[in-house]
Amino acid sequence: MIYFAIDIGSSTTTIYEKGRGLVLKESTLIAIEETKNGEMIKAVGDEAKELMQFPIANVKIYSPIKEAEIKSRDKLTALVRAFFEKVIGSGAVGGNSVKGSGTKASKGAKKASKSAVSKAQSSTLGAKFAVICCVPTGASEKDKATYFHSLKEAGADEVHLLPHSLALANYLNLLHSHVPCFAISMGHGATDFAIIGNVLKDVYDRGRKEILTGCTINIGGSLLNASLTNYVAEHNFFEISSRTADIARQEIGTLQQNDQSSLIINGRNLLTSRSDEMRLNSLLIREAITPYFLQICTVIDTMLKFVDKKTEEWLAQTGIYLAGGLSQTHGLDIFIKHHLGLNIKLADDPLNAVVIGAGRLWDSKEHFDATVALSD
């Protein structure tokens, strides 16, 4: 049996394998070709992202997960199957039908893709594998069932679902300590919050940790990109792509007024309707993104009202742990400290902390039983 953990983010999917560490990090994208015989997979992951730059007729690129919600179970299943195929070693992806067994393909198309499909099936059936799948803390029961069944259909023999926040707490070695923790993971599509603490249910229960209160909201990098795009259009009469907004936000975005910088960006001048360039100032980015970080502060503040006084006092001492790409926003620690008076600790590998934290649970049966088995 091979033991994996997977974190299917809105922008990036990561897979961790017990004994090997991080084995896959690719865009959560699938390129589908519409043929007269049905939908066929053209590319997945980073290859599908590359195709975005060179549009092909009849090929559409999808992200099966948006703002932490599953948009298409079939595409999610096809994507994770292809990813596990890559990791397990068979490699063949192109030509597979989206439905996996070629249900939509005609005889001819089935023939063309037969070797790819049979490779996919033999790789998933040939190697037995178990997966811990990280899911949003606030995932609906329907989405949790979809994650479970998608992974099963993708060939996993054993599937366990684990909230992001518990995976992050395990990465931080806080899941099996006696101290409560506030874990937040901020990604491209959503931000995931949880206060994790001890619940002593009976004398045999030696301080098992549970989510005391948690939620997932749809504030993430993609919403911030949309806000920045609108801001630039309104203030500078300049149209930029969300990709440009993402790059600018990462390079010069800040929540601090006193660290100003600027960047030349490309786009379309809305006054002349021509391609052009302009200098974007970080203060404009700050204006565009600040309201969303204020909303994040409101969620943190509200959640603290749901826990008992003792837990709140602990959290005031321990502070808040952050992970996820968006947690790298410049000045975020000072911003939260200023608004809520709480200290911030950024996970040392913010982009991979969740999947590594989940994957490490395979190393300890005791920790696995106390966390994953109980979340099942």
Ligand X SMILES: Nc1ncnc2c1ncn2[C@@H]1O[C@H](COP(=O)(O)OP(=O)(O)O)[C@@H](O)[C@H]1O
Q: What is the contact surface with ligand X in residues (CB under 6 A)?
A: 9-12, 187-189, 220-221, 246, 249-250, 253, 324-326, 328-329, 351
Neighbouring CB atoms inside 10 A of 137's CB total 26
Q: How far apart are CA 33 and CA 104, in angstroms?
A: 12
Closest residue to ligand X: CB criterion: 221
Nearer of residues 209 and 249 to ligand X, judged by Cβ: 249
Residue 184 CB, shortest distance to Mg ion, in Å, is 12
**Which of Mg ion, ligand X, none has residue 261 at its interface (CB below 5 to 8 Å by kind)?**
none
* # of chain residues touching Mg ion (CB under 5 A): 3
Residue 203 CB, shortest distance to ligand X, in Å, is 40
Nearer of residues 261 and 269 to ligand X, judged by Cβ: 261
Nearer of residues 46 and 308 to ligand X, judged by Cβ: 46
Task: Assess contact for 198 and 315: CB atoms under 8 A.
Answer: no
User: Helix or strand or coil: residue 336?
Assistant: helix
- Detail the DSSP E strand segments found in the chain: 2-8, 12-17, 21-27, 30-35, 38-44, 59-62, 65-66, 69-70, 129-135, 158-163, 181-186, 191-198, 209-217, 238-239, 262-269, 274-281, 320-323, 344-346
**Which of Mg ion, ligand X, none has residue 328 at its interface (CB below 5 to 8 Å by kind)?**
ligand X
Nearer of residues 30 and 109 to Mg ion, judged by Cβ: 30
**By CB under 5 A, residue 187 contacts Mg ion:** yes
Point out which span in 6-14, 16-24, 62-70, 233-241 binds Mg ion (CB under 5 A): 6-14
With a CB cutoff of 8 Å and minimum separation 6, the contacts of 12 are: 25, 26, 27, 28, 188, 325, 351
Q: Which residue from 373, 325, 364 is spatially nearest to 170, judged by alpha carbons?
A: 364
Point out which span in 8-16, 50-58, 63-71, 262-270 binds Mg ion (CB under 5 A): 8-16
CB burial readout 67-84, b (16+ within 10 A) else e: bbbbebbbbbbbbbbbbb
CA angle 318, 372, 214 (to 5 degrees): 45
Residue 347 CB, shortest distance to ligand X, in Å, is 11
- Would you state the structure tokens that stand for residue 44, as one six-digit string? 């997945």
Nearer of residues 7 and 74 to Mg ion, judged by Cβ: 7
Residue 326 CB, shortest distance to Mg ion, in Å, is 10
Residue 45 CB, shortest distance to Mg ion, in Å, is 14
Task: Assess contact for 324 and 165: CB atoms under 8 A.
Answer: no
**By CB under 5 A, residue 9 contacts Mg ion:** yes
Q: How far apart are CA 23 and CA 14, in angstroms?
A: 8
Tell me how far the alpha carbon of residue 349 is from its chain's centroid.
14
Residue 355 CB, shortest distance to ligand X, in Å, is 9
Residue 164 CB, shortest distance to ligand X, in Å, is 9
The site string for Mg ion over 235-264 (x = CB under 5 A, - otherwise) reads ------------------------------
Q: How far apart are CA 185 and CA 137, in angstroms?
A: 10
**Which of Mg ion, ligand X, none has residue 326 at its interface (CB below 5 to 8 Å by kind)?**
ligand X
Q: Which helix (H) or strand (E) holds 335?
A: helix 332-340
Nearer of residues 40 and 320 to ligand X, judged by Cβ: 320
Nearer of residues 281 and 328 to ligand X, judged by Cβ: 328
Size (the chain), residues: 376
Point out which span in 138-146, 181-189, 239-247, 253-261 binds Mg ion (CB under 5 A): 181-189
With a CB cutoff of 8 Å and minimum separation 6, the contacts of 174 are: 181, 183, 196, 321
Nearer of residues 27 and 96 to ligand X, judged by Cβ: 27
Residue 206 CB, shortest distance to ligand X, in Å, is 33
Binding site for Mg ion (CB under 5 A): 7, 9, 187
